[in-house]
């Protein structure tokens, strides 16, 4: 079972921060999942457009300048990282799943990954780009075919994983509330891996493993490694 540290080790550290990502590297997680928004010409690592939950700040990302966003306390003195900082820290040591949260993230992502390949030696074979915004994923795959795509869905579509095939995806990322044997069988027949979010207890993880799921997103990846 592949274990992705969901927003880093977000069960023990402030989510989507360098501390949470370092912890995921330290525990040897297969992959790390982060959420990314565009902000003032930069890609920043944060899950909510509204700043209140993680930074105790009023308003939305777009209400602030980048310099102001980067000074906010994202928990326990941690700052909101940029995607660039995360790529630097991970340095190809595990798979990085970049989940695109905004509709305007694609041009910045493609530009930054090209820069990161040249300046940081980023291995794009270790990246997995996902989003609930499927046209955006299609645009990314058409622009850079080598990038692996994770097709996110919160539902079970009428034609199961056909959308993921159309996207040229490597994997389908499904909600634990809906995933079932038909979806998993359809994915595997199409050559897609099945990763399920967000799985934080052993009983459910073992149930999913028995169903044939290939990986989980988990807030406690060190503990999860002992579940199987
Ligand atoms: O990428 C898997 C999962 O993170 C998707 O949902 O809301 O946690 O970003 P969310
Ligand atoms: Mg996410």
Instruction: State pLDDT tens for residues 51-100.
Output: 999 999 999 999 999 999 999 999 999 999 999 999 999 999 999 999 99
Mean pLDDT, rounded, for 163-192: 98
Nearest-CA residue for atom 10 of ligand 1: 47
Predicted confidence at residue 33, as pLDDT, reads: 99
Predicted confidence at residue 122, as pLDDT, reads: 98
Active site amino acids: 6, 47
Mean pLDDT, rounded, for 118-139: 98
Confirm or reject: Cβ of 15 under 6 Å from ligand 1.
Answer: no
Confirm or reject: Cβ of 217 under 6 Å from ligand 1.
Answer: yes
Predicted confidence at residue 18, as pLDDT, reads: 98
Confirm or reject: Cβ of 130 under 6 Å from ligand 1.
Answer: yes
Q: How far, in Å, from the CA of 197 to the mean position of ligand 1? A: 7
Confirm or reject: Cβ of 4 under 6 Å from ligand 1.
Answer: no
Predicted confidence at residue 46, as pLDDT, reads: 98
Q: What is the band of 25 on the pLDDT scale with cuts at 50, 70, 90?
A: very high
State the chain's mean pLDDT as an integer: 98
Q: How far, in Å, from the CA of 219 to the mean position of ligand 1? A: 11
Separation of alpha carbons 84 and 198, rounded Å: 25
CB 38 within 8 A of CB 12: no
Look at the alpha carbons of 23, 27, 28, 31 in this order and tell me if their dihedral is positive or negative.
Answer: negative
Nearest CA-CA partner of 33 in 113, 98, 88:
98
Q: Tell me the pTM.
A: 0.98
Separation of alpha carbons 176 and 174, rounded Å: 6
Pocket test for ligand 1, best of 4, 35, 137 (most atoms within 8 A of CB): 35
């Amino acid at each position: 079972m592949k274990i992705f540290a969901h927003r880093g080790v977000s069960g023990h550290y402030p989510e989507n921060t360098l501390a949470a990502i370092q912890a995921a590297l330290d525990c040897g997680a297969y992959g790390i999942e982060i959420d990314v928004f565009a902000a003032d010409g930069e890609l920043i690592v944060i899950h909510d457009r509204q700043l209140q939950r993680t930074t105790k700040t009023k308003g939305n990302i777009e209400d602030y300048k980048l310099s102001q966003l980067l000074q906010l306390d994202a928990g326990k003195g941690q700052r909101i990282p940029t995607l660039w900082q995360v790529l630097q820290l991970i340095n190809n040591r595990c798979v990085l799943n970049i989940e695109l949260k905004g509709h305007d993230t694609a041009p910045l992502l493609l530009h930054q990954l090209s820069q990161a390949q040249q300046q940081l030696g980023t291995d794009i074979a270790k990246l997995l780009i996902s989003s609930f915004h499927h046209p955006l994923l299609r645009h990314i795959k058409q622009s850079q075919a080598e990038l692996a795509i994770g097709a996110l869905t919160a539902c079970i579509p009428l034609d199961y994983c056909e959308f993921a095939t159309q996207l040229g995806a490597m994997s389908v990322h499904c909600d634990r509330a809906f995933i079932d044997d038909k979806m998993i069988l359809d994915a595997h027949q199409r050559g897609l891996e099945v990763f399920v979010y967000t799985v934080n207890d052993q009983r459910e993880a073992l149930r999913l493993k028995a169903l044939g799921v290939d990986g989980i997103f988990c807030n406690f990846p060190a503990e999860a490694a002992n579940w199987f």
